[in-house]
């Protein structure tokens, strides 16, 4: 889960390997907020898999690649 | 994950944030009134439930988004320096602390530095992109690699 200067640098780094998924920075910001915003809450409880999947889907991260285990 | 383990997990995270580093089993035990052995056994269950990650010595390795060991993602937030496990977690540290943050890393391709300042939830630049190589179903197969 890496941060690159641009999509061109992702392609160069992959050097022909099959890509995973590329996410624009503004969406990663939203994802980090939704995923981690409650991590230090005193009453934190674990999310279900379905709840985590819903976070991804709400941000447009759907399809087989984003299917949680 | 039962109620006692959730409380242990929350106490562990709280100690991590308070200390600015991973707490030892003894430190958490002292905070929650449990023996070090009890804490270690609970941490093992939390590790198996993917609520935190232990190293081979059963010490905290990750309390996502925080990394207990230096990484390529350095984060300055809430008056402290932290390490994150990955780019996602680097942004997650400011989110978890509800604080502005500054992230320093380097492009894995060209090694040029990347500096990202987060102020009021907004990044100082939108140029960098995030790439995930491993499909979500396999993230926990080897979380260190992911």
Domain ranges of chain A: 23-69
Structure confidence by residue, pLDDT tens digits, B34-58: 999 999 999 999 999 999 999 999 9
Topology of domain B67-125 in CATH is Bactericidal permeability-increasing protein; domain 1 (3.15.10)
Reported as a pLDDT band with limits 50, 70 and 90, residue A68 is very high
Q: Tens digits of per-residue pLDDT, B54-111?
A: 999 999 999 999 999 999 999 999 999 999 999 999 999 999 999 999 999 999 999 9
Chain B residues closer than 8 Å to A63 by CB: none
Residues forming a β-bridge with B81: B76
Give percent of chain A above pLDDT 70: 100
Q: Kindly provide the ipTM of the predicted complex, given to two decimals.
A: 0.94
For the purposes of burial, counting CB atoms within 10 Å of the CB of A27, is it exposed (0-12), middle (13-18) or buried (19 or more)? middle
Q: Is B128 an interface residue toward A (CB < 8 Å)?
A: yes
The whole-angstrom separation of Cα B130 and Cα A22 is 6
Predicted model pTM: 0.94
Point out the residue among A23, A42, A65 whose CB comes nearest to the CB of B129.
Answer: A23
User: In this structure, which topology does domain B3-53 adopt according to CATH?
Assistant: Arc Repressor Mutant, subunit A (1.10.10)
Residue of A nearest to B14 (CA): A40
- Write the CB contacts of A35 (distance below 8 Å, at least 6 apart in sequence): A52, A55, B88, B92, B95
Q: Does B139 touch chain A (CB under 8 A)?
A: yes
Residue of A nearest to B92 (CA): A32
Specify the pLDDT at position B143: 81
Q: CA-to-CA distance for A21 and A5, rounded, in angstroms?
A: 15
Query: CA B67 to CA B69: how far, in whole Å?
Result: 5
Residue B78 CA to residue B66 CA, distance in Å, equals 13
Contact A3 B92 (CB under 8 A): no
Which tens digits make up the pLDDT trace of B102-135? 999 999 999 999 999 999 999 999 999 999 999 9
């Amino acid at each position: 889960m890496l941060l690159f200067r641009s999509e061109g640098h992702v392609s160069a780094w992959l050097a022909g390997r099959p890509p995973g998924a590329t996410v624009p920075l503004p969406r990663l910001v939203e994802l980090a907020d939704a995923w981690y915003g409650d991590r230090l809450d005193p009453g934190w409880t674990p999310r279900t898999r379905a709840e985590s999947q819903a976070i991804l889907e709400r941000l447009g991260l759907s399809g087989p690649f984003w299917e949680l285990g | 994950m039962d109620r006692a383990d959730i409380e242990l997990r929350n106490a562990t995270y709280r100690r991590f944030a308070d200390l600015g580093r991973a707490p030892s089993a003894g430190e958490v035990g002292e905070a929650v009134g449990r023996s070090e052995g009890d804490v270690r056994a609970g941490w093992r269950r939390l590790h198996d439930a993917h609520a935190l990650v232990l190293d081979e010595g059963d010490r905290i390795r990750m309390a996502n988004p925080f990394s207990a060991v230096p990484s390529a993602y350095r984060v300055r937030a809430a008056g402290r320096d932290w390490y994150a496990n990955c780019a996602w977690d680097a942004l997650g540290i400011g989110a978890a602390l509800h604080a502005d943050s500054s992230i320093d890393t380097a492009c894995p391709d060209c090694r040029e530095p990347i500096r990202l300042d987060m102020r009021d939830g907004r990044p100082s630049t939108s140029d960098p992109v995030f790439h995930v190589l491993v499909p979500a179903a396999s993230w926990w197969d080897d979380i260190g690699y992911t």
